[in-house]
């Protein structure tokens, strides 16, 4: 089998040298475990955090350790009655062609209905993330206005589509004219702004003001950076900000810095939250896996009948995963970033 390990920690943006492709023996499943031949592997922004040796909500990947990640594949050996050989399973098998995991920590994937790649995106972790953050924290109401960036990615595209279905005005922000076209044509955003076309937050804010003439009620936060700066002063009183991610800063360093230090709050940011009575709530979706069945009941039929559209960006070959990951962090993906492994 082949696997990709963390060769060194990145200083800023990751480079191909931070990863190493290795050969190894196929592992054997222990009691209660399954062995899976991986077909598709997910690339997600959180993996950037695992490459740093900083205090975070999850342990870093050790140097020489298998890069962490979720994937879907065929069960080729099973020591647990809940999985048969030939079943498809989703689990944390890492960046590898084969993986072993406790059956209890894997989910069976229906290979008959929607493509199995849906378990990595729209019906998997990113889809649940968008659904949970929008509904639980965003509390969307008909007639309100929502803004989300990374609008064509798996999180942003589900947020936009579910909000639209609830009767909100949806404003997407994405990198480049092609992605903006996809956002409005395929994902039904009322407007999409290309963040790369604006030099600073001020000019982006002016465009947002036109795109959201009644102000912004929900800012689903995926990116931070210039977009956050542009959006914040346009929030309506009692606006809600599901704080999901801040990818603009993942390569900047310092995110895991000691919280005891000074300089943690920016006065203008804090004041804007205060005087507009904003609700800002962060969440980590792995604390909410118990909501997966409810999410599936609501969204799986919408995917099956085409009310929710899906876009995937599939790279061939495990050996190309590092470059695809580096590209994704910079917006090189159009749709859910996936690697076809087998
Ligand atoms: P995407 O597939 O959308 O990929 C990331 C996208 O971020 C890029 O394609 C790019 O899109 C955009 N981006 C990168 N840099 C910038 C920047 N400087 N300014 C604006 N946009 C930028 O990712 P996901 O949908 O998987 O994830 C979206 C966010 O959700 C991430 O922040 C991720 O960490 C977070 N997340 C959080 C979870 C949680 O539990 N809290 C769980 C899952 C995801 P473009 O080219 O359009 O700019």
Tens digit of each residue's pLDDT (9 = 90 or more) over 129-180: 999 999 999 999 999 999 999 999 999 999 999 999 999 999 999 999 999 9
What is the chain's mean pLDDT, rounded?
A: 95
**Nearest atom of ligand 1 to the alpha carbon of 157:** 25
Helix axis angle for 125-132 and 292-304, nearest 10°, is 100
Residues 170 and 158 in one domain: yes
Task: Assess whether 190 and 329 both reside in one domain.
Answer: no
Same domain membership, residue 202 and residue 185: yes
Q: Measured from the CA of 176, which atom of ligand 1 is nearest? A: 46
Tell the residue number behind the tokens 């929008």, with chain if given. 134
Looking at residue 57, its pLDDT comes to 85
**Number of domains the chain contains:** 2
Flag whether 56 is in a domain: yes
List the residue whose alpha carbon is closest to atom 27 of ligand 1.
155
Please give the DSSP secondary-structure letter assigned to residue 104: G
Mean pLDDT of 241-246: 97
| C-alpha atoms less than 13 angstroms from C-alpha of 35 in its C-beta half-sphere | 13
The pLDDT, as a whole number, for residue 262 is 54
Does residue 332 sit in the same domain as residue 224?
Answer: no
CA–centroid distance, 24 to ligand 1, in Å, is 32
Residue 336, CA atoms < 13 Å, CB-side half-sphere:
25
Binning pLDDT at 50, 70 and 90, where does residue 268 land? confident
pLDDT at 260 over 60: no
Please give the distance, rounded to the nearest whole angstrom, from the Cα atom of residue 245 to the centre of ligand 1.
Answer: 7
Tokens of 166: 């609830």
Q: Which two tokens stand for residue 157?
A: 């595209």
Q: What is the pLDDT of residue 38?
A: 98
Atom of ligand 1 nearest to the CA of 133: 41
What confidence score (pLDDT) does residue 253 get? 72
Residue 47: C-alpha distances to residues 37, 44, 63 (Å): 21, 6, 14
Note whether 174 and 192 are within 8 A (CB).
yes
- pLDDT of 301 > 60? The answer is yes
- The boundaries of the domain holding residue 60 are 2-121+310-340
Structure token digits, residue 32: 């209660």
Domain boundary among 256, 272, 287: 287
Which residue has better confidence, 307 or 54? 307
Nearest CA to ligand 1 atom 38: 244
Both 188 and 255 in one domain: the answer is yes
Do 148 and 265 lie in a common domain?
yes
- What whole-number distance in Å separates Cα of residue 95 and Cα of residue 75? 17
Q: Is 168 within a domain?
A: yes
Distance in Å, CA 249 to ligand 1 centroid: 11
Same-domain status, 39 and 76: yes
How far is ligand 1, taken at its centre, from the CA of residue 166, in Å? 23
User: Helices in 266-320 by DSSP H: which ranges?
Assistant: 267-275, 292-304
Contact 131, 298 (CB under 8 A): yes
Q: What is the pLDDT of residue 54?
A: 82
Residues with CB under 6 A from ligand 1: 44-46, 126, 129, 149-150, 152-156, 174-175, 179, 195, 222-223, 225, 227, 244-245, 247-248, 283-285, 328, 331, 333, 337
Residue pair 145/173 in contact (Cβ under 8 Å)? The answer is no
Whether 242 is covered by a domain: the verdict is yes
Ligand 1, atom 32, residue with closest C-alpha: 245
Test site for ligand 1: of 134, 227, 282, 331, most ligand atoms within 8 A of the Cβ: 331
Q: Is 176 within the bounds of a domain?
A: yes
Average pLDDT over residues 291-311: 96
Distance 81 CA to ligand 1 centre (A): 38
What's the CATH number where 183 sits?
3.40.50.720
208: pLDDT strictly greater than 60: yes
- Please report the pLDDT score of residue 73 as a whole number: 98
Same domain for 101 and 142? no
CATH, residue 45:
3.90.180.10
Residues 112 and 8 in one domain: yes
> Does the pLDDT at position 259 exceed 80?
no
pLDDT category of residue 264 using cuts at 50, 70 and 90: low
| Ligand 1 atom at shortest distance from the alpha carbon of 45 | 34
64 part of a folded domain: yes
pTM of the model: 0.97
| Position with higher pLDDT, 113 vs 96 | 96
Residue 299 covered by a domain = no
Expressed in angstroms and rounded, the spacing between residue 13 Cα and the centre of ligand 1 is 15
Determine the distance separating the centroid of ligand 1 and the alpha carbon of 72, expressed in angstroms. Answer: 21
Report the Cα 135 to chain-centroid distance in Å: 17
Nearest to 214 by CA among 170, 258, 173, 250: 170
Is 177 a member of any domain? yes
Statement to judge: residues 232 and 333 lie in one domain: no
So what's the pLDDT on residue 263?
Answer: 58
- Whether 116 and 131 share a structural domain: no
Mutation probe of ligand 1 site: the residue of 148, 160, 195, 247 with most atoms within 8 A of C-beta: 247
Residue 319 and residue 335 in one domain: yes
Tell me which residue has its CA closest to atom 29 in ligand 1: 222
Q: Do the domain assignments include residue 9?
A: yes
pLDDT at 261 over 60: no
Residue 256 has pLDDT above 70, yes or no: no
Measured in Å, how far apart are the chain's first and last C-alpha atoms?
Answer: 11
Q: What percent of the chain has pLDDT over 90?
A: 91
């Amino acid at each position: 089998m082949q696997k990709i390990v963390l060769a060194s920690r990145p200083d800023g943006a990751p480079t191909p040298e931070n990863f190493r492709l290795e050969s190894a023996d196929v592992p054997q499943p222990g009691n209660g475990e399954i062995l899976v031949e991986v077909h598709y592997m997910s690339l997600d922004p959180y993996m950037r955090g695992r490459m740093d040796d900083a205090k975070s909500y999850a342990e870093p990947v050790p140097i020489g350790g298998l890069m962490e990640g979720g994937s879907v594949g065929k069960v080729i050996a099973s020591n647990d009655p809940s999985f048969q050989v030939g079943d498809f399973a989703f689990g944390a098998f890492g960046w590898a062609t084969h993986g072993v995991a406790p059956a209890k920590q894997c989910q069976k994937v229906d290979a008959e209905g929607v493509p199995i790649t849906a378990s990595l995106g729209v019906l998997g972790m990113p889809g649940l993330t968008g659904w949970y953050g929008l509904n639980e924290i965003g509390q969307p109401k008909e007639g309100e206005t929502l803004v989300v960036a990374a609008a064509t990615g798996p999180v942003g595209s589900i947020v936009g589509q579910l909000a639209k279905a609830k009767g909100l005005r949806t404003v997407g922000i994405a990198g480049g004219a092609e992605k903006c076209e996809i956002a409005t044509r395929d994902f039904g955003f009322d407007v999409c702004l290309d963040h790369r076309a604006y030099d600073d937050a001020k000019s982006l804010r002016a465009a947002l003001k036109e795109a959201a003439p009644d102000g912004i009620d929900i800012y689903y936060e995926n990116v931070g950076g210039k977009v956050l700066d542009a959006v914040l002063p346009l929030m309506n009183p009692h606006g809600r900000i599901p704080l999901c991610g801040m990818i603009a800063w993942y390569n900047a360093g310092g995110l895991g810095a000691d919280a005891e230090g000074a300089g943690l709050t920016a006065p203008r940011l804090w004041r804007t939250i205060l005087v507009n009575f904003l609700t800002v709530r962060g969440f980590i979706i792995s604390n909410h896996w118990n909501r997966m069945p409810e999410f599936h009941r609501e969204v799986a039929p919408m995917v099956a009948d085409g009310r929710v559209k899906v876009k995937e960006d599939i790279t061939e070959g495990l050996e190309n995963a590092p470059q695809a990951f580096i590209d994704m962090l910079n917006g090189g993906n159009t749709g859910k970033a996936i690697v076809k492994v087998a």
